[in-house]
Structure 1
């Protein structure tokens, strides 16, 4: 199926319609404040449009407590400044980036495999 504006594209490859959520990337703090204390504030790197797709969830018991893991794929347009040390924030939910996938190494989009922070 082709979209109305393009003759040679497949609709599922069109990022514009899929990126509906606004997410913010935060970098880990570095350095210290004027008193020599480590900085706790994670600085904002960028705010971008993204698609968020929950892939898998599980619950388990460890150390006499119940835990839950949710694996989520976040799709964004390609950015060279994104790395695995960053967190992604959507609303009140924070995601830790586990893996960054470059489909076809085309520099069109990034697939971020994330875990929801508890």
Structure 2
């Protein structure tokens, strides 16, 4: 991956439980974990008619410089669209510590 490919600003968010001050109910909220420059490459779009889902799903590949702490429980915001991380990030083939490749999907999500 070339440095020039890292031209998209990506916001990584993580789910944090919070307590409502009035009802004391525990709610899940999303907070920004970090932002990173990365590459964003749409892979495919499909209409899950066979699964009878209510929304379409699109998948993409995100590439960022290596960093610790990227978890599959996080989500990525790109151009106002929410993307769910699908599985653990994949390290680069050469050293394993230069870049991460992250597969993401959009469609049904919890936030």
Quickly name the TM-score band, shorter chain normalised.
0.7 to 0.9
Larger radius of gyration: 1
Q: What are the superposed Cα offsets for residues 83-108 of structure 1, whole Å, 9 maximum, x if unpaired?
A: 00000001210100002111225211
Q: What are the superposed Cα offsets for residues 25-76 of structure 1, whole Å, 9 maximum, x if unpaired?
A: 000122423342223430100011011001111112244x653221100101
Aligned partners of 1:23 and 1:90 also within 8 Å: yes
Aligned partners of 1:93 and 1:117 also within 8 Å: no
Regions of 4+ moved over 6 Å:
none
Unaligned ranges ≥5, structure 2: none
TM-score scaled by structure 1? Answer: 0.77
Q: Is 1:113 aligned with 2:103?
A: yes
Residue 42 of structure 1, aligned match among 18, 30, 42: 30
RMSD: 1.8
Number of residue pairs matched by the alignment: 104
Q: Is 1:92 aligned with 2:80?
A: yes
Q: Which has the higher contact order (CA 8 A, sep 6+)?
A: 2
TM-score scaled by structure 2? Answer: 0.82
Q: Is 1:77 aligned with 2:65?
A: yes
Q: Which residue does the alignment assign to 2:40?
A: 52
Unaligned ranges ≥5, structure 1: 1-12
